[in-house]
Amino acid sequence: MNDIKQYQKLMRKCLSLAKKGEGKTSPNPLVGCVIFDDDFNIVSVGWHEKYGEFHAERNAILNYKGDLKGKNLIVNLEPCCHYGKTPPCTDIIIESGIKKVVVGMRDVNPIVAGKGIKQLQNSGIEVVEGVLENECKKLNEIFIKNQTEKKPFILIKSAVTLDGKIATKTNSSKWITGERARREVQRIRNLYDAILTSSNTVLSDNPSLTARIKGGKNPVRVVLDRHLKTSPSAKVYNDDGTKVFLFTSQKNNKKYPKNVCVKRVSEDKNGLDLNEIVSELWEEGIRSILVEAGGKLNGAFVKEGLADKLVLFVAPKILGDKKGKSFVEGFDIDDINNSQILDMVSVKRFEPDLMIEAGFKY
């Protein structure tokens, strides 16, 4: 096996390690690191375990108790070269005597952005770049958008029948998908800073919007309630220690639990101003938003060009009811060539359902 294939094998290990930090590192990226010898034997590993704690490279180096001089290091993201919550990773790499660093992708954070690699090279360390770069970028798609656009990454998640329905005309929707798909939804919720829904969803389903996953966290909950129709006793507002943002255009005269922050925002022709809401959430430190709502709100996010990705769970069921509810509404397209185009990312099986992952193109 040549060096490139060996690097790819080790990079997949880095990506697997990085995922151990899912739901714990925001607003930092997911990073895994492997230290190996010239025969490509792994001698130490590490990953970024939690925001504010040591980065993956420092953990991998500290986890090795012997002499690292002449060893090699591989990491999915360029090592940092600045002081933040922790010291620069480049410093400890240089001090350790490591001779070669293999990098998946350059950091898009302008504070780093090639400077970490330059510092390593100036210290005589060989640097190999671009190993499984696309896979590395996909892993940290949230971080990349945050750094390049200064906006939250937004995912629309929905579960539909084969004919694209999320509920019957009587709002019956539990459950469209099977248990395995629903477990995957809990895992996805754990990845995001906030989960957003509409007042209509709260009124019809009374969801808790929690991440029921072992060792996971509950994302911040966000409710868009233009006319303050929802009851303060709805499950979504339960004071379980999780912050809730309630956006409305009305003056609030209701008494919500202490964890609920009511924010008044502007309206546009489609209802509440989504751009203003997204900007407010960014200012509140929200770097990723999972939208779990009905077709109207899903459609509004798409029409405004705010959604980055779609995850659609498709069940082998057919409603066949023309009055059934679609997962996206608000489009009136006459020409098929004017359809909203998406880039297919992946299709996975969660027996008996399929999960389609696709990115929006605007």
Residue 1 confidence (pLDDT) = 55
Domain with residues 3-145, CATH architecture: 3-Layer(aba) Sandwich (3.40)
Pair 20, 49: CB distance under 8 Å: yes
Full pLDDT tens readout for the chain, 362 residues: 589 999 999 999 999 999 999 999 999 999 999 999 999 999 999 999 999 999 999 999 999 988 999 999 999 999 988 776 778 899 999 999 999 999 999 999 888 888 999 999 999 999 999 999 999 999 999 999 999 999 999 999 999 999 888 887 777 777 889 999 999 999 999 999 999 999 999 998 899 998 888 777 889 999 999 999 999 999 999 999 999 999 999 988 899 999 999 999 999 887 899 999 999 999 999 999 999 999 999 999 999 999 999 999 999 999 887 777 889 888 778 888 888 889 988 999 999 999 999 999 87
To the nearest 10°, report the CA torsion of 361, 186, 352, 308: 0
| CA–CA distance, 277 with 279 (Å, rounded to integer) | 5
Class of the 152-360 domain?
Answer: alpha beta
Q: Which amino acid is at 105?
A: M
Alpha helices by DSSP H, listed for the chain, are 3-18, 56-63, 89-96, 115-122, 133-139, 141-149, 179-191, 199-205, 274-283, 295-303
Neighbouring CB atoms inside 10 A of 204's CB total: 15
Residues taking part in catalysis: 57
Pair 224, 236: CB distance under 8 Å: no
Residue 331 confidence (pLDDT) = 77
* Structure-token match 């990953």, residue found: 47
Domains of the chain, residue spans: 3-145, 152-360
| CA–CA distance, 279 with 18 (Å, rounded to integer) | 29
Residue 266 phi, psi (nearest 5): -75, 165
Residue 361 confidence (pLDDT) = 85
